[in-house]
């Protein structure tokens, strides 16, 4: 149980960092349209009522409940996997990152009805969709899940 608590604690830390970053972004960027940090990176304030890449953001509002339900079911499933496999370090780390991202974004959806995005990367006139710390956590966790699934297993890991 201690190992499971460690992974949940990591998720909680990332959720706190995500929410703090979003709070700072709202406080600072509400008065500023966009802040150029580098020639390829801006801070902007975007409220995304859709999913990744703003999919369904122009829907009539029904998507909010759907995305909240999906995130809550996924989070419960991830916690059950963390309880079952806490000693598989890479797998548990990946799950903790995905859990943190799901919870961070579902908090926004519940409290304000949309996810706060503020990181804007661009090059040669093309912009990557704005994202946040929770999105980064989900992306890194998903990449680690793929890596964990593809790496060769030792006999002891079976």
How far apart CA 146 and CA 73 sit, in angstroms, is 21
CA distances in angstroms from 157 to 27, 43, 147, 152, listed in the order given: 47, 43, 15, 10
Query: Would you please indicate which residues are annotated as catalytic (active-site) residues?
Result: 117, 135
Q: What distance lies between CA 69 and its chain's CA centroid?
A: 16
- Is residue 72 packed enough to be buried (19+ CB in 10 Å), middle (13-18) or exposed (0-12)? middle
Q: What distance lies between CA 64 and its chain's CA centroid?
A: 16
Q: What distance lies between CA 124 and its chain's CA centroid?
A: 27
């Amino acid at each position: 149980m201690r190992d499971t608590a460690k992974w949940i604690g990591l998720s909680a830390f990332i959720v706190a960092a995500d929410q703090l970053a979003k709070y700072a972004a709202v406080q600072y960027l509400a008065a500023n349209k966009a802040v150029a940090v580098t020639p390829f990176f801006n801070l902007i304030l975007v409220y995304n009522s859709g999913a990744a890449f703003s999919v369904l953001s122009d829907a009539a509002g029904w998507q909010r409940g759907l995305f909240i339900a999906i995130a809550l079911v996924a989070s419960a499933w991830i916690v059950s996997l963390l309880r079952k496999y806490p000693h598989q370090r890479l797998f548990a780390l990946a799950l903790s990152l995905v859990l943190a991202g799901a919870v961070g974004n579902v908090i926004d959806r519940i409290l304000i009805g949309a996810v706060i995005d503020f990181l804007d990367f661009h090059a040669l006139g093309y912009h990557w969709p704005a994202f946040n710390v929770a999105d980064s956590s989900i992306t890194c966790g998903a990449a680690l899940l793929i890596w964990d699934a593809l790496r060769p297993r030792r006999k002891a890991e079976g």
